[in-house]
Amino acid sequence: MLKPCVAAVAAAGLFAITTAQALAADARGDWVRPNGASKIRITSCGKSLCGKLVWLRDPRNDRENPDASKRSRSLLGVQIVRSMQPTGKAGQWKGKVYNAEDGKTYTGFIELTSVNKLKLEGCVMGGLICKGETWNRVE
């Protein structure tokens, strides 16, 4: 049987490890695309994660949107990562991704590959074909 102080130290150590793992798997924050053209802010939206464009090197409108009434809106503030739910795999979420370059919404995945790297993929054909890129956390 553990002595009370040993048990307290063990519990504190377990809490610290669990807390560090939770922080390491936190996708919330600001991310920049590899080409540096945009920054995306990932936040909680209810029980999901969502992400919106917060900076564009070359600001422009959402001209490829299939909804003609949205083509004149600025892309700044547009939610491009939508309703991401945990998949059961550590550090991975599944939801929808809006690609402003072609105006289409895809099934998407985000996955923390490290504390400062987030892989985003958009998929078609039920996830058979996926294309993605790795974003870097903005400090």
Q: Facing residues of 81 across strands?
A: 51, 97
Predicted TM-score of the model (pTM) = 0.79
75-97 residue pLDDT tens: 999 999 999 999 999 999 999 99
Q: Which residue has the higher pLDDT, 125 or 2?
A: 125
1 pLDDT band (50/70/90 cuts)? low
